[in-house]
Every structure is written in C-alpha cells, then in structure tokens.
Amino acid sequence: MKAVVMPWHRAVRFRDGEHVGELGPGGHRVSRRDELRRADTRLQVSTPSAQEIPTADGVHVRVTPALTYAVVDASRHVLAADSPTQVLHLACRLRLRAAVAARAHDRIDPERAAIAAELHEGLRPLVDEIGVEVREVAIRDVVMPPEPRRAAIAEITARAEGRAALERARGESAALRSLLNAARLAEEHPVLLQLRPLQNAQTVVVEQSGAPRRAKRARREAADQHAQPGDSPR
C-alpha cells in the first residue's frame, strides 16, 4: 500500500499500535498493519479565548493573547496529548492570569510586551513536551471596564488642557516681558516717546506732498486714453 506525505506534513508511523518512526514528504510503501498520524509543520497562529482577570488592585480586565507556533517534533506532538493545541491554550491562559494578577489595572496596557515575554518564557517547558516551538506571543486586546476607561479619558483630556493652558501662559508671559522692556526703555530714554509722533507726521507730509503729482499724472493718462490715433490738429 502506498502513502503520500505532503511537504508540510510529517507522518508518525505506528505498526500494530507501536510507534515505529516518522515518514517525510513523498511517496512511501506501507504495510496494511501500519497507521499514519499526520502533523502539520507549517507556521500557525492561534488565539486562546479572552478571559476576564482580576488585577492586583481588584479591577477585572478582559485580555486576549495570540500565539504563533510551529510543530518541530511530530512524534512528540502526536504522542504527548490528544489535543496539543488545547493543552497549549490552557497553559497560556493560566500563565496570562498570573501575569495580569500581579499588576495594577493601569499597568496592563503599557506593559503588554513585558506580559507577552513572561508568557513566552513560561511556556517553554510545556512546548518542549508537546513538540512545538512558540515563535511569538502577543497581547492582542486589553479591554478595561467602563469606569477605568472614563477615568483614563478624563486624565488624557486634563493633560491636554493643561498643556494648552501652559502655552497660553507662556504667550502672555512673553507679551508682558515685551511691554516691560518697552516701558523700561521709555523710562531710560524719554526722547524715544517723541519719535513716534514725529514719524507719523512725516508720513502724513510725504503722502500729502505726493497727492498733487499723482492727480496731475492721472489727468494726463486720462487725456491720452481719449486721444484718437491718427488725429491731427486742424
């Protein structure tokens, strides 16, 4: 009898109920007494179910982890458990519960990476037993109850309003410093107070002196526009 094993599979071989080895990709002659159990060696992403976990300060937080793993020992994977994925999920949930319970609720979201690293390290003994290698652990979702969420939003709003008030205060302080410098300069040099009216008067005189010239130029341009080309005096 011929058995074909796909490139992403390893076939664990049993003969008369006894484990006798593995078959790699390709076609194989097997006895009728043989039974093959296939293990998928491709990279897999698995999401254990979310759970509500009480934090160190008594707030229940809903947390969802995600695992990326691959089977690296097909025989151990098949022999160790009837459902290795369920075993992996249970271990992940238990270690996640311990990591979250050791922290206050406001530390859970900022410390996602640290919690994931703790899970990854805590799963090492188990994954060796079931023949898998965990490539990555991530904390996908962290959901707080309504009250802490509202408190967090209020804190962010207050922080933004504080920054805006600080910027306004800085602008007002700069304006006051400018006025103070101007007052000090005027006090030290009173003659400066007379320069502004003099400058305004000069501006008015210049504008008025230029007005007749502008009017004369306008009349000359108007006369030129009314003149017809080719007209000659009679």
Res 181: pLDDT: 78
H-type alpha helices, 2-142: 74-80, 84-101, 105-108, 112-129
Res 36: pLDDT: 94
| DSSP H or E segment with residue 188 | helix 146-188
Q: Are the C-beta atoms of residues 60 and 52 closer than 8 Å to each other?
A: yes
Q: Are the C-beta atoms of residues 120 and 78 closer than 8 Å to each other?
A: no
Res 94: pLDDT: 94
Structure tokens belonging to residue 9: 């599979």
Collect all residues with Cβ–Cβ distance below 8 Å to 168 and sequence separation of at least 6. Answer: none
Res 101: pLDDT: 94
- Extract the residue ranges of the chain whose pLDDT is less than 50: 205-206, 231-234
Res 192: pLDDT: 60
Structure tokens belonging to residue 23: 């078959």
Res 234: pLDDT: 41
Q: Are the C-beta atoms of residues 39 and 77 closer than 8 Å to each other?
A: yes
| DSSP H or E segment with residue 210 | helix 192-226
Helix (H, G, I), strand (E, B) or coil at 81: coil
Q: What radius of gyration, in Å, describes the C-alpha atoms of the chain?
A: 42
**Overall residue count recorded for the chain in this entry:** 234
Res 75: pLDDT: 95
Res 13: pLDDT: 95
Neighbours of 166 (CB within 10 A): 10
Residue 56 is given by DSSP the state: T
Q: Are the C-beta atoms of residues 148 and 156 closer than 8 Å to each other?
A: no
